[in-house]
Structure 1
Amino acid sequence: MYSDVCLVSECEITREGLGNILKSEGFNIIGSYGAIKDLEKQDFGSEFFFVLDGIAAEGQSDAVQKLKDRFDTVPVVILSERFDFNTMLECFQAGAQGYIVRSMKALPMMTSMRLAAMGERVLPPDLVDVFEQQTFTPVLRTAEKPDEEVNRARLSPRELDVLCCLMAGYSNKVIARELTVCEATVKVHVKAILRKLNVHNRTQAAIWASSRGLSDMEMHA
């Protein structure tokens, strides 16, 4: 098991906070950097792993690839602000060891970190629940129309808007502000979405939507 960690995040406060949590769990922080380019002249050996945080979904797989090109034997763990199914696949294809959604609580997050440090591949735990409950069909990013399964869910246009917001990781308060409705209305929509998709929580709803080709940018006017 690796105990040495190198953090990469453009936010210094995030690096400090995450570093302190990792230290409290017995990990040793051997480096903390704001960008991958800052690692060009560094040589840490091979007995450590990277944690990448604060990288937008569209740049995560490229970031993993850059690190694997430079440190090919070093495990890389992505901390993502929200879940995106296709991005997760691309990260693993680029060589990532783990893909962890940051909304996870500290204890399970550290458990996931330990698994990655032990050489295990780590995926979001809610992904398993969604696969058990739903028929899964991979959808390409280039698909222009939602999958028929999305249509069969019979979500209203406003429920689709709320679902897109859930994919973006928004809280009820933020969703209410984005859609110009009250929080109570958002709660009603979220409850209806969970029922129609046959999932247990917001994360599972986001995974369900992402795995079926929906984008968090597909908002209705």
Structure 2
Amino acid sequence: MVPEINLVSPCEFTREGFARILSSEGFTVRGCFDSIAEVRYENLSKNSIFLLDDPDSAEHARLVETVKAEFESAVVVLLSADFDLASMLKCFRAGARGYVIKSLKAAPMIAAIRLAISGQRVLPQDVLEIFENQAKPIPALPEIATELDDANLSPRENDVLCCLMAGYSNKVIARELDVCEATVKVHVKAILRKLNVNNRTQAAIWANSHSTIGGYYPIQSSQSDTSAQPLVARAG
């Protein structure tokens, strides 16, 4: 039986573009909806596929949960504009089968959807890059700071650094720390300069390598504490 696609996206251009590509690849596009509220679940076939697109990564897991609550056997693939590790993990916990970055070209996008339909979990290339980068030996990085004190990070920069360790995007960091995204970018730039590293992945690797070395360990700031206690602090 030909899989039936239900496409949810607030962007008409995205809906029409995906519908044409999917139809040309032999899929049946059952419906295109600009919001999850418009979807009708009556008479869905057992092999129904939901492609969910929303520009707000904070909404991704909720969309997956909504579909799975209405139609548990549905295969759900989340379409995201950017890679957001925290959002991706929440989506898979909610029951998503795939998490695909929309910048993919048509052929790999269709291949990813077919893999999800076949029962495979589909993750973006960014996940593999995280593991590959973490597997690289720290000495291979360019003369990074050897002690946290030498880095002279501010309390807020420590907060941002711990978020980088968790793989958070700038948007998620801004939400977690209750600051604007532009402020996060400034902090990230300062962190890279102070640690003498080239990118946020190297900064996260550095932080991981120092979280249990030299008496440093990661701690969580209290939401109610307005003193901006650093997330990385000296033990004892």
Tell me the TM-score normalised to structure 1 length.
0.62
Deviation at 1:3, TM superposition (A): 2.3
Question: Pairwise CA RMSD of aligned residues?
Answer: 3.8
Deviation per CA, 1:104-151: give whole Å up to 9, x if none. Answer: 22221111111011111100023113212206xxxxxxxx82446969
Q: Which of these residues, 145, 160, 167, is aligned with residue 159 of structure 2? A: 145
User: Which residue number corresponds to residue 61 of structure 2?
Assistant: 61
- Aligned partner of 1:145: which letter? D
Question: How many Å separate the matches in 2 of 1:113 and 1:43?
Answer: 22
Q: Which of these residues, 199, 203, 227, is aligned with residue 193 of structure 1? A: 199
SS at match of 1:134: helix
- Aligned partner of 2:39: which letter? L
Identity of aligned residues (%): 36
SS at match of 1:20: helix
The 3 A distance-change label for structure 1 pair 35 and 43 is farther
Find the structure with the greater CA-based Rg: 2
Deviation per CA, 1:52-84: give whole Å up to 9, x if none. Answer: 113410001001000000011111000001111
Question: How many Å separate the matches in 1 of 2:128 and 2:37?
Answer: 35
Query: Is 1:39 aligned with 2:53?
Result: no
Contact 1:133 1:198 in 2 (8 A): no
Query: Is 1:95 aligned with 2:95?
Result: yes
Contact 2:9 2:54 in 1 (8 A): yes
Unpaired runs of 5+ residues, structure 2, are: 136-157, 175-184, 186-192, 206-236
Question: How many Å separate the matches in 2 of 1:195 and 1:65?
Answer: 30
Query: Is 1:3 aligned with 2:26?
Result: no
Unpaired runs of 5+ residues, structure 1, are: 136-143, 152-162, 169-178, 180-188, 200-221
Alignment map for 1:169-180 (pairs within 5 Å): none
Q: Post-superposition, which runs of at least 4 consecutive aligned residues in structure 1 deviate over 6 A?
A: none
User: Which residue number corresponds to residue 72 of structure 1?
Assistant: 72
The 3 A distance-change label for structure 1 pair 87 and 148 is closer
Query: Is 1:110 aligned with 2:110?
Result: yes
Matched length: 167
- Aligned partner of 1:38: which letter? E
Question: How many Å separate the matches in 2 of 1:39 and 1:119?
Answer: 23
Deviation per CA, 1:138-168: give whole Å up to 9, x if none. Answer: xxxxxx82446969xxxxxxxxxxx949x99
